[in-house]
């Protein structure tokens, strides 16, 4: 047991050193971009995005024109996964949004934003809503085998602080939507991350012990890596659908 605990401790430290993190969320859709839908029945439709309808910040409907010119209309409930190539304009707009403070400018992985091939959205049961589904943007593709982390469109952000008219800190996400093992999405908040950490990783007590009761919201991605490793997950680092 002590050997296992020591191994987990080294594992957590190793992942922290690698500074693995979640993808930067996009917020802009450009029509006529390559996209596809995988339906709940397992059918795949490839084509060009025609339109997206959002409600309360969540995608509710998608229209795609296939290679034969036929327009397919989907409700979120009918979709298992939706993917779209963001295009240059959306990428630059995301960089602009993520660079509104000096801290975010330093933390943003610009190469990740510019090189990402696909944006991935999954249908999930929304938190605190009975039988209401929405398409959520996946932020941890490649290490989402047990815990999926999604952008929270209407989530809380830190208070901006400016010096000489320049935003120095602030505007950073303080909430994320999280789904564990296909359950209903829950809101994970920075302010209460200690409790969320205990709930999410309760089935791996050695990981909880290794953190020594001081989990940080900023290390959430590393915690998932360590959890997956304990579960025997083999990683495939990819930003496109296979």
Closest CA to 124 of 153, 154, 150, 156: 150
Decide: 42 and 24 in contact? Cβ < 8 Å.
no
**Report for 61-70, 102-111, 163-172: range of highest mean pLDDT:** 61-70
In which band, very low, low, confident or very high, does the pLDDT at 138 lie, cut at 50, 70 and 90? very high
Task: Identify each DSSP E strand in 33-171 by its residue range.
Answer: 34-39, 44-55, 58-66, 71-75, 79-84, 119-125, 133-137, 147-150, 161-163, 166-169
Q: Is 208 helix (H, G, I), strand (E, B) or coil?
A: helix
Task: Please give the DSSP secondary-structure letter assigned to residue 100.
Answer: S
Decide: 225 and 146 in contact? Cβ < 8 Å.
no
- Is the model more confident about 92 or about 54? 54
Q: Enumerate residues 6+ apart whose C-beta is below 8 A from 43.
A: none
The H or E element that residue 110 is part of is helix 110-115
Decide: 83 and 121 in contact? Cβ < 8 Å.
yes
Helix 2-18 and helix 220-230: axis angle, to 10°? Answer: 140
Tell me whether residue 62 is exposed, middle or buried, using C-beta atoms within 10 angstroms of its C-beta: 0 to 12, 13 to 18, 19 or more: buried
Decide if pLDDT at 208 tops 80: yes
Decide if pLDDT at 80 tops 70: yes
Strand partners, 208: none
Tell me whether residue 177 is exposed, middle or buried, using C-beta atoms within 10 angstroms of its C-beta: 0 to 12, 13 to 18, 19 or more: buried
- The per-residue pLDDT for 172 is 55
| pTM for the model | 0.77
Angle subtended at Cα 54 by Cα 143 and Cα 140, rounded to the nearest 5 degrees: 5
Burial 136-148 (b: 16+ CB within 10 A, else e): bbbbbbebbbbbb
- Total residues belonging to the chain: 242
Each residue's pLDDT tens digit, 82-99: 999 876 434 434 444 444
Decide if pLDDT at 102 tops 70: no
d(CA 62, CA 90): 18
């Amino acid at each position: 047991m002590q050997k296992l605990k020591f191994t987990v401790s080294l594992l957590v430290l190793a992942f922290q050193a690698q500074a693995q993190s979640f993808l930067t969320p996009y917020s802009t859709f450009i029509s006529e971009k390559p996209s596809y839908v995988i339906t709940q029945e397992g059918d795949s439709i490839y084509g060009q995005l025609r339109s997206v309808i959002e409600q309360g910040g969540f995608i509710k409907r998608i229209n795609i024109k296939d290679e034969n010119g036929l327009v397919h209309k989907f409700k979120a409930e009918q979709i298992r996964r939706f993917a779209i190539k963001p295009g240059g304009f959306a990428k630059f707009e995301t960089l602009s949004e993520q660079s509104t403070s000096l801290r975010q400018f330093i933390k943003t992985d610009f190469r990740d934003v510019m090189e990402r091939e696909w944006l991935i959205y999954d249908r999930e049961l929304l938190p605190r809503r009975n039988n209401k589904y929405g398409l959520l943007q996946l932020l941890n593709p490649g290490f989402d085998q047990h815990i999926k982390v999604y952008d929270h469109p209407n989530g809380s952000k830190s208070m901006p602080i400016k010096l000489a008219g320049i935003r120095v800190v602030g505007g950073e996400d303080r909430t994320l939507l999280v789904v564990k093992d296909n359950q209903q999405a829950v809101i994970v908040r920075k302010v209460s991350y200690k409790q969320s950490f205990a709930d999410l990783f309760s089935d791996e007590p050695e990981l909880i012990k290794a953190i020594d009761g001081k989990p940080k919201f900023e290390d959430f991605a590393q915690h998932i890596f360590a959890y997956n490793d304990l579960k025997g997950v083999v990683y495939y680092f990819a930003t496109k659908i296979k």
